[in-house]
Amino acid sequence: MLEAFVLVQTDVRTGAKVAREIDSVAGVRRSHCVTGPYDVVARTSTEDLEALGRLVDEIQKIPGVTRTLTCPVIRV
């Protein structure tokens, strides 16, 4: 199992809507609206790196998403 955090930048005033849509993506455990350079942080869990790539592709298709940064967990 591969866990990762996906940091998401969004268009102005779309963070809450984007977070709700991210929550519906398969493999997303939870997403949160945050402050700082990113607007949403999503905790994910996938089978492998290839599945993580597909998950990030789905997040990037959500209207309002402008940029993502994926941070795989290397130690628990």
Q: What's the pLDDT tens digit per position in 15-31?
A: 999 999 999 999 999 99
Please report which helix (H) or strand (E) contains residue 54, including its range: helix 49-60
Domains assigned to the chain = 2-72 (3.30.70.920)
Give the pTM. Answer: 0.95
pLDDT of 26 reads: 97
pLDDT of 76 reads: 77
Return the structure tokens found at 27. Answer: 């493999």
The 10 Å CB-count burial string (b at 16+, else e) for 47-59 is eeeeebeebbeeb
Amino acid, single-letter form, for residue 65: V
Point out the residues of the chain with pLDDT beneath 70: none
pLDDT of 13 reads: 95
